[in-house]
Structure 1
Amino acid sequence: MSQVEKYVQQWLEDVVIGLNLCPFAAKPNRNKQIKIHVCEDASEDVLLETIYQELQTLDQTPVEELETTLVVAPNLFKKFDDYNQFLDLVEGLVIQMNKSGIYQIASFHPDYCFYGAEPEDAENLTNRSPYPIFHLIREESMEKVLKHYPDPDGIPERNVECVENLTDAQKRKLFPYLIK
């Protein structure tokens, strides 16, 4: 396991699962059904091809073996705006592959900033990660889990409340890559 993979796995366990930001991540993580694929290349074309290949892999692999994939791009998108623009290409790829409604992309970046938010707003922490990450999610799996989850519409609000209530010490421990 590479250093980048270890760092992403730690973030997944401490932040995403530890803070319960995604109440659906613990089970597939426990069952080793989450793939972390690191694309070390610094080419956007290679990354787009990698995402294409990982979507194909999800298509060809039973959900019992592989629930979801995190594609990590440690050598690209130092600026969130560049990442956000590339995200449009990834969304376009899903459409071009006729996979809308089958897969959705969740986005994470060290400088993630929601539209209308200020960069220092705590709510951005819900989508901040050690590296730029494209999370490839099976929509069918999400729909199954959401049927049995009380108040799924309240998840974003609860997540914001959770990160707003973190102490400075907790933020430094959970998000060391944000300390400049």
Structure 2
Amino acid sequence: MPAFPDSADAADATDAQVVEAVRHWLSRAVIGLNLCPFAKSVYVKDQVRYVVSPATRAEDLLEELEGELRALADADPAQTDTTLLIVPHALADFLAYNDFLYFAERLLRSLRLAGTLQIASFHPDYQFEGTEADDIENYTNRAPYPILHLLREDSIARAAEAFPDAADIYERNQATMRRLGIDGYRRWMSEKSEDEG
């Protein structure tokens, strides 16, 4: 049984279905399990920009990423606080995705946006260094599709001030996942959240 039962097969999914699967993941996992205490406010205020990339090659995705980084840097934070660049047609292999992150970070620096924006990473097969592929701890960063999450440094700093235990998030998330276990996580993800009706 897949970890994300509501995500449609990437080859057949429409952009709307891709966004729906990502919104479900955000609502159930990220917010529902409190994996990121900063996520709820931008989610409920509709300040998340969802971009489904048509890219099938890393080169095209890098070009699209540049456009999205520039757009977020120029956007009014009250309208768009963060961007999820969702990649359903490329980087399905986690190692290839991980390699791409090097170029993504290099692009961020070349645009002189390091310190203004940052890129967080999520992938269906995310694996932390030193873990086995099936370790439940990896599920804290697993998403229905490869995602490049573009965040504002200012927003992160403000959120960290509001949550004095922000440094403990990683350890707390690992403990949450260990309590649930893989079967418990899959059951949790198979249910709808309140905002999905």
TM-score range relative to shorter protein: over 0.9
- Alignment size in residue pairs: 176
Percent sequence identity over aligned pairs: 40
Matches of 1:53 and 1:14, distance apart in 2: 29
Matches of 1:168 and 1:87, distance apart in 2: 27
Q: CA deviation at 1:170?
A: 2.8
Report the secondary structure of 1:165's partner residue.
Answer: helix
Q: CA deviation at 1:96?
A: 0.5
Residue 46 of structure 1 is matched in structure 2 by: 60
Gaps of 5+ in 2: 1-14, 191-197
Q: CA deviation at 1:79?
A: 1.1
Are 2:132 and 1:113 equivalent residues in the alignment? no
Residue 86 of structure 2 is matched in structure 1 by: 72
Are 2:40 and 1:30 equivalent residues in the alignment? no
Conserved? CA contact 1:17–1:23, under 8 Å: yes
Residue 138 of structure 1 is matched in structure 2 by: 152
Conserved? CA contact 2:136–2:182, under 8 Å: no
Are 2:99 and 1:85 equivalent residues in the alignment? yes
Residue 63 of structure 1 is matched in structure 2 by: 77
Matches of 1:2 and 1:43, distance apart in 2: 21
In the superposition, the TM-score normalised over structure 2's length comes to 0.86
Matches of 1:84 and 1:91, distance apart in 2: 11
Conserved? CA contact 2:51–2:83, under 8 Å: yes
Q: CA deviation at 1:169?
A: 4.0
The alignment yields a C-alpha RMSD, in angstroms, of 1.3
Residue 160 of structure 1 is matched in structure 2 by: 174
Q: CA deviation at 1:45?
A: 1.5
Matches of 2:107 and 2:116, distance apart in 1: 13
Gaps of 5+ in 1: none
In the superposition, the TM-score normalised over structure 1's length comes to 0.93
The aligned amino acid for 1:31 is K
What pairs with 1:12-31 in structure 2 (closer than 5 Å)? 12-31=26-45
Are 2:109 and 1:125 equivalent residues in the alignment? no
Conserved? CA contact 1:11–1:174, under 8 Å: no
The aligned amino acid for 1:35 is R
Matches of 1:100 and 1:28, distance apart in 2: 22
Q: CA deviation at 1:41?
A: 2.1
Are 2:165 and 1:151 equivalent residues in the alignment? yes
| Larger RCO of the pair (alpha carbons < 8 Å, separation 6+) | 2
Matches of 1:148 and 1:27, distance apart in 2: 12
Conserved? CA contact 1:74–1:132, under 8 Å: yes
Matches of 2:63 and 2:187, distance apart in 1: 34
Q: Deviations over 1:86-116 (max 9, x none)?
A: 0111000001001111111110001100011
Matches of 1:13 and 1:69, distance apart in 2: 16
Report the secondary structure of 1:70's partner residue.
Answer: strand
